[in-house]
Amino acid sequence: MTNSLSTRFRNAARPTSAFGKNTPPGTTVTGRIAAAEDQPKLKFGGAPGEVELDQGGHPVTQLVITLDTESGAKNLYVSWRMEQAIGAALAAAGDAEFEIGATLSVTFTGPDPQFPKARLFTATYTPATGGWAK
């Protein structure tokens, strides 16, 4: 029981999501990249804390990027489409390396017309200047 309580308290202390299910198209979140890590992906429609499993029974992971924004820390739960937008932003920034301390701006542009439950994003990336340390 203690382990599940510890997990529950840690989850409650995490930064809020940058984009919720009711986020209107055109919403942009901009901030300095504070952290980026793979975390177990929660099962859509599952019980609280239930992790999505692949066909082999292994946890599916999802990249979570934490941005320091003007309104506090925000988490980006990176979907495939958001990953594409960030990749395009890295290319537009001269094939920059993804790094902690850089500035990332992600805009939710709206639902995918072919798959209405999927979301589309655009992004811009500005490399860090002067070796920011964790």
pLDDT of residue 1: 45
Q: Where are the domains of the chain?
A: 2-35+67-126
Amino acid present at 113: P
Q: Which residue has the tokens 């804390």?
A: 49
40: tokens are: 């177990």
48-53: long-range contacts, CB 8 A cutoff, minimum separation 24: 49/4, 49/7, 49/8, 49/11
Helices within the chain (DSSP H only): 2-13, 80-92
Give the pLDDT of the chain (134 residues) as one tens digit per residue. Answer: 446 666 666 666 678 888 988 999 999 999 999 999 999 988 888 887 788 999 999 999 999 999 999 999 999 999 999 999 999 999 999 988 999 999 999 999 999 999 988 999 999 999 988 654 44
- Which residues partner with 107 through β-bridges? 28, 122
